[in-house]
């Protein structure tokens, strides 16, 4: 089963939940934890795993043979990302805008465009016992995270339980990380900002037709409106984590919650069982 841990808002505790769930499951079965927050991956801080393999990720960008080009402008017409501009006797390529779709090279009437790889980041892996860890790391200054996320997800082993730590927001990287999951776990906080961004995340996940549930972190800091919203939308609240100075202290030191406070281990194992039951029920309804 593939469980993605997301939220509309940054700082709600996705990594806290993802690492705790993965570590709790690793005592019982083989687990993969995928850190798809490739712009600032931090799950490794809590796992204390050595990265033993690093693989570069590249996307194909156009390379124009000026001796064959007739400057017809067909490549610029078909590029929806404006990554190519055709002047009177020159073709300009903007690699940072290119999404590597290949339309320009495929449709060039003179076959004047080939493709060359441009490195945009790396995928790093490590393992310890039943835990396998895969993370993507986007190169500084690069704007596109989805190609890195796709490479991270290619490591998914269907024989293992998989937990995906997703980036905040509801943009393309989030959709790329969440899609094809069996379940999306949305982490929020009981504040107006938490509710606003949770509602955006719910709509995104609903479009993807994924089973979903909510975890309320830092319970007690705000009001009851998040719970009211979940009740109105018929979204199950699967776990509540209170505002606790001890939890914050552990997190600041890079100590996983279930290691610093072992009493939470059973709560996360029960969370997994609850998710499994929801997924099974949704499959039966289909």
Question: 129 falls in which pLDDT band (50, 70, 90)?
Answer: confident
> Helix crossing, 225-232 with 192-207: angle to 10°?
20
Please say if the pLDDT value at position 285 is more than 80: no
Average pLDDT over residues 26-44: 95
Helix (H) or strand (E) holding 17: helix 14-26
Instruction: Assess contact for 36 and 121: CB atoms under 8 A.
Output: no
Question: 181 falls in which pLDDT band (50, 70, 90)?
Answer: very high
Please say if the pLDDT value at position 59 is more than 90: yes
**Residues 238-280 pLDDT 10s:** 999 999 999 999 999 999 999 999 999 999 999 999 999 999 9
Average pLDDT over residues 91-102: 94
**pLDDT for res 73:** 96
Same domain? For 52 and 73 the reply is: no
Q: How many residues would you count in the chain?
A: 286
Average pLDDT in the chain: 94
Same domain? For 12 and 52 the reply is: yes
Distance CA 259, CA 262 (A): 5
For residue 275, what is the domain's CATH number?
3.40.50.300
Distance CA 102, CA 245 (A): 52
Q: Within a domain: residue 186?
A: yes
Please say if the pLDDT value at position 286 is more than 80: no
Q: Within a domain: residue 267?
A: yes
Same domain? For 241 and 130 the reply is: yes
Distance CA 29, CA 52 (A): 22
Please say if the pLDDT value at position 50 is more than 90: no
Please say if the pLDDT value at position 128 is more than 90: no
Average pLDDT over residues 122-133: 94
| Domain membership of residue 94 as a residue range | 66-111
Same domain? For 33 and 107 the reply is: no
Q: Within a domain: residue 116?
A: no
**pLDDT for res 80:** 94
Q: Last residue of a domain, which of 89, 111, 133?
A: 111
Same domain? For 47 and 77 the reply is: no
Distance CA 131, CA 134 (A): 10
Q: How far apart, in Å, do the first and last CA atoms of the chain sit?
A: 17
Q: Within a domain: residue 61?
A: no
For residue 77, what is the domain's CATH number?
3.30.70.20
Same domain? For 214 and 247 the reply is: yes
What letter does residue 95 receive in the DSSP assignment? G
Average pLDDT over residues 185-213: 95
Number of domains in the chain: 2
Query: Taking the model in full, what pTM does it have?
Result: 0.93
Strands 113-128 and 53-64: antiparallel
Same domain? For 101 and 184 the reply is: no
């Amino acid at each position: 089963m593939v469980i993605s841990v997301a939220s509309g808002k940054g700082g709600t505790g996705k990594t806290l939940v993802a690492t705790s769930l993965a570590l709790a499951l690793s005592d019982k079965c083989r687990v993969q934890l995928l850190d798809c927050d490739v712009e600032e991956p931090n799950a490794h801080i809590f796992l204390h795993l050595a990265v033993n393999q690093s693989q570069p990720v590249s996307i194909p960008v156009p390379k124009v043979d000026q001796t064959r080009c007739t400057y017809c402008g067909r490549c610029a017409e078909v590029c929806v990302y404006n990554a190519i501009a055709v002047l009177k006797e020159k073709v300009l390529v903007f690699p940072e805008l290119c999404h590597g779709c290949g339309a320009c090279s495929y449709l060039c009437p003179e076959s004047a465009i080939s493709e060359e790889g441009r490195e945009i980041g790396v995928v790093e892996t490590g393992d310890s016992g039943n835990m396998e860890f895969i993370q993507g790391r986007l190169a500084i200054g690069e704007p596109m995270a989805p190609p890195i996320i796709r490479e991270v997800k290619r490591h998914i082993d269907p024989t293992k339980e998989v937990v995906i730590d997703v980036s905040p927001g509801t943009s393309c990287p989030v959709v790329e990380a969440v899609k094809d999951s069996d379940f999306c776990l949305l982490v929020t906080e009981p504040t107006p900002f938490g509710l606003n961004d949770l509602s955006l995340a719910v709509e995104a996940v609903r479009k993807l037709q994924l089973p979903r549930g909510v975890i309320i972190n830092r319970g007690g800091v705000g009001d009851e409106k998040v719970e009211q919203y979940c009740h109105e939308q018929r979204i199950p609240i699967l776990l509540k984590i209170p505002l606790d100075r001890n939890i914050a202290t552990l997190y600041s030191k890079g100590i996983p919650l279930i290691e610093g406070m072992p009493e939470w281990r059973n709560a996360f194992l029960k969370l997994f069982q609850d998710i499994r039951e929801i997924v099974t029920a949704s499959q039966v309804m289909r």
